């Protein structure tokens, strides 16, 4: 594993990790969700699966999150996450191991970014896998707890304890974030996602619900696959959920070869 630092278009530092198999036959990018980090267990679990299938794996901390990249989480938006994904891929294009078409994998807001990239640069994307993807600003807002959403709208802030990083209190400028997110709607351009697609969602997801994933799935063209992990929440932490996700992704990768 190699850690590197690059600069994004706004001259902010992005920290990334590159894992290489002994024999490389492809390339994959993994993008985390809102406030996530590149080393989160549900992302880390995918690395050995991709390596075993001979993919170079690139994962990174978006700016304005809690990893090693620069920025302030309170200022996070879907746009800055998407731009960082573009910038990381553009950097990768300068490396000797770069290969097209590549695979994109994203969780939650990272899923939205992966889908947007696949829509904008479909010729570069071999296949697309998302875990509990954000589909649109409206559907994301609808999935929010009504009482919590009302409080966020009243105060202008979403304030939450971090589940993945105990002791951290996440403060997000809600109106800025949701206002930016409302410009994105994958349903409008779903027909452009012509590459193989895998959607994974936890049965108990209360952030990007199973209902939302079903709506998106129905609007996607073939080839496509939807897998529901029983009793799992939005972010997988239990070993059985991580193992099932890894197994699903492994079988899907093998079907692409």
252 assigned to some structural domain:
yes
Residue pLDDT, tens place only, 84-95? 999 999 999 999
CA proximity to 168, closest of 89, 90, 74, 94: 74
pLDDT at 168: 82
The overall average pLDDT reported for the chain is 96
Please check the confidence at residue 167 and state whether its pLDDT lies above 90: no
Give the number of domains in the chain: 1
Please check the confidence at residue 146 and state whether its pLDDT lies above 70: yes
122 assigned to some structural domain:
yes
pLDDT at 160: 86
176 assigned to some structural domain:
no
Look up the domain containing 209 and give its range: 2-136+185-256
Tell me the CA end-to-end span of the chain in Å, nearest whole number.
25
pLDDT-derived band at 22 (thresholds 50, 70, 90) equals very high
Q: Is 219 buried (19+), middle (13-18) or exposed (0-12) by CB count in 10 A? A: middle
Which CATH number fits the domain that encloses residue 199? 3.40.50.1820
Residue pLDDT, tens place only, 102-133? 999 999 999 999 999 999 999 999 999 999 99
Residue pLDDT, tens place only, 195-220? 999 999 999 999 999 999 999 999 99
Residue pLDDT, tens place only, 39-89? 999 999 999 999 999 999 999 999 999 899 999 999 999 999 999 999 999
Please check the confidence at residue 166 and state whether its pLDDT lies above 80: no
- Read off the pLDDT of each residue in 231-257 and give the average, rounded to a whole number: 96
110 assigned to some structural domain:
yes
175 assigned to some structural domain:
no
Point out which residues pair with 199 in neighbouring strands.
130, 226
For the whole model, what pTM was predicted? 0.96
pLDDT at 164: 66
Question: Tokens at residue 198, please?
Answer: 């895998």
- Percent of the chain scored above 70 by pLDDT? 99
pLDDT-derived band at 169 (thresholds 50, 70, 90) equals confident
Q: What span, in angstroms and rounded, lies between the C-alpha atoms of 108 and 32?
A: 7
pLDDT-derived band at 238 (thresholds 50, 70, 90) equals very high
144 assigned to some structural domain:
no
54 assigned to some structural domain:
yes
- Read off the pLDDT of each residue in 174-184 and give the average, rounded to a whole number: 95
180 assigned to some structural domain:
no
Q: Decide: 200 and 130 in contact? Cβ < 8 Å.
A: yes
Q: What are phi and psi of 141, to 5 degrees?
A: -65, -40
């Amino acid at each position: 594993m190699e850690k590197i630092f690059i600069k994004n278009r706004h001259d902010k530092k992005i920290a990334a990790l590159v894992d290489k198999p002994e024999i490389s036959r492809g390339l994959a990018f993994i993008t985390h969700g809102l406030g996530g980090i590149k080393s989160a267990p549900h992302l880390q679990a995918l690395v050995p699966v991709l390596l075993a299938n001979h993919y170079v794996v690139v994962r990174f901390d978006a700016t304005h999150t809690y990893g090693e990249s620069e920025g302030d989480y309170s200022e996070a938006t879907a746009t800055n996450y998407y731009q960082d994904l573009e910038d990381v891929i553009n950097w990768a294009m300068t490396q000797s191991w770069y290969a097209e078409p590549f695979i994109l994998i994203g969780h939650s807001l990272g899923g939205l970014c992966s889908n947007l990239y696949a829509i904008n640069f479909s010729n570069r994307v071999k296949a697309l896998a998302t875990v509990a993807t954000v589909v649109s600003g409206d559907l994301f807002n609808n999935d929010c707890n009504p009482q919590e959403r009302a409080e966020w709208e009243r105060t202008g802030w979403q304030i939450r304890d971090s589940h993945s990083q105990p002791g951290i209190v996440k403060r997000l400028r809600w109106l800025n974030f949701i206002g930016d997110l409302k410009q994105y709607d994958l349903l409008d351009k779903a027909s452009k996602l012509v590459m193989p697609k895998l959607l994974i969602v936890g049965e108990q997801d209360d952030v990007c619900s199973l209902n939302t994933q079903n709506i998106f799935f129905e609007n996607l063209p073939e080839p496509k696959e939807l897998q529901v992990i029983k009793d799992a929440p939005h972010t997988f932490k239990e070993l059985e959920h991580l193992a099932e996700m890894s197994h699903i992704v492994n079988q899907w990768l093998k079907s692409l070869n």
